[in-house]
């Protein structure tokens, strides 16, 4: 194997307790994008190198909008992580996804408004990054298979609508998301998942439904106290999953998946066009580039 597996674990509400880490050491990482949410905790989980980061800070003091997502992802990459397993509290948009249920997300809809969505923000280039599949399929499959072996029920797919926050949705908004056939609503998935893709990290999320948002008439409307309560009551399921997932991830040879994510620049300057594609996308990229070339030549 070319790559040594190291797994970054990003804890959401209630999952930032480092007690299950062995040989844990705190590390302060300064990044080109500023400070991460907190000190990073490096250690071993079931004998495998891991790095734990509390998304909102260990005191849960950083709101979704103000999280320095770029610094968080950069720091995990800097410390040698190859994977990220994230946990997150979410609101359910479907009757069958009950509070306490786990969902292994496979897509998202981005409705955030105030966040920097890329690490490529220089003025001298236009850079387009493929996002689909948004989550690492091989990592998702390991999570799903492990959950089944442990007897933990998970929903094997799910689409999350990501809102800006910090407020929760209105009833009209919640019903709009339901009309899109979305499964969950969340405040932190984007840009975290996008930046992980840019950084070449294999990313998967274990989302926990903590409430029914506000669309369900027969249920108390979502509030912070209930979100935290439900998450803390069920977080042991995620911890149990993580303990078993980590060594299974480490057993696999990830050379192909990591190589596919290592973004290489294919720069063809036709006056002002610069494209960046993963190397495996060249066959898709080149026809587009020839089309743009022909259009530009015709306009000269």
- Beta-carbon contacts of 10 under 8 Å, excluding residues fewer than 6 positions away, are 53, 55, 72, 76, 84, 85, 86, 87, 192
Q: What is the Rg, in whole angstroms, of the alpha carbon atoms belonging to the chain?
A: 20
Out of 16, 38, 101, 211, which one is annotated catalytic? 211
Determine the Cα angle at 297 with ends 292 and 300, to 5°. Answer: 130
Out of 16, 106, 183, 213, which one is annotated catalytic? 213
Helix (H) or strand (E) holding 205: strand 202-211
Concerning whether 38 is annotated as a catalytic residue, the answer is no
Assigned token pair, 147: 């959950």
Q: Which of 21, 14, 15, 69 is nearest to 225 (CA)?
A: 14
Q: Phi/psi class of residue 213: alpha, beta or left (left: φ > 0; alpha: ψ in -120 to 50)?
A: left
How far, in Å, CA of 191 to CA of 2, rounded?
A: 28
- Beta-carbon contacts of 51 under 8 Å, excluding residues fewer than 6 positions away, are 6, 7, 8, 9, 40, 41, 42, 76, 79, 81
The residues carrying an active-site annotation are 211, 213
């Amino acid at each position: 194997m070319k790559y040594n597996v190291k797994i970054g674990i990003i804890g959401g509400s209630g999952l930032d307790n480092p007690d299950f880490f062995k040989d844990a050491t705190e590390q302060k990482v300064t990044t080109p994008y500023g400070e991460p949410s907190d000190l990073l905790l490096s250690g071993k989980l079931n004998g495998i190198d891991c790095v734990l980061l509390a998304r909102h800070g260990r005191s849960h003091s950083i709101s979704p909008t103000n999280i320095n997502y770029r610094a968080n992802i950069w720091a995990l990459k800097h410390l040698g992580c190859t994977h990220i397993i994230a946990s997150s509290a979410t609101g359910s948009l479907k009757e069958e996804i009950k509070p306490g249920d786990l969902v292994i997300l496979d897509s998202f809809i981005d409705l955030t408004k105030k966040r920097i969505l890329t690490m490529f923000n220089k003025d001298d280039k236009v850079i387009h990054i493929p996002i689909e599949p948004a989550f690492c399929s091989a990592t998702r499959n390991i999570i799903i298979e492990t959950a089944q072996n442990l007897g933990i029920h998970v929903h094997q797919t799910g689409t999350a609508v990501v809102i800006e926050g910090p407020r929760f949705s209105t009833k009209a908004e919640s019903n709009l998301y339901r009309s899109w056939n979305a499964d969950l609503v969340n405040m932190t998935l984007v840009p975290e998942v996008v930046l992980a893709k840019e950084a070449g990290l294999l990313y998967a999320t274990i989302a926990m439904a903590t409430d029914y948002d506000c669309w369900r008439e027969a249920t108390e409307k979502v509030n912070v106290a209930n979100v935290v309560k439900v998450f803390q009551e069920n977080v042991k399921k995620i911890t149990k999953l993580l303990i078993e997932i980590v060594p299974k991830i480490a057993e696999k040879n990830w050379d192909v998946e990591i190589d596919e994510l290592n973004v290489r620049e294919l720069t063809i300057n036709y006056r002002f066009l610069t494209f960046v594609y993963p190397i495996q996308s060249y066959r898709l990229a080149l026809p587009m580039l020839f089309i743009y070339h022909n259009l530009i030549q015709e306009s000269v």
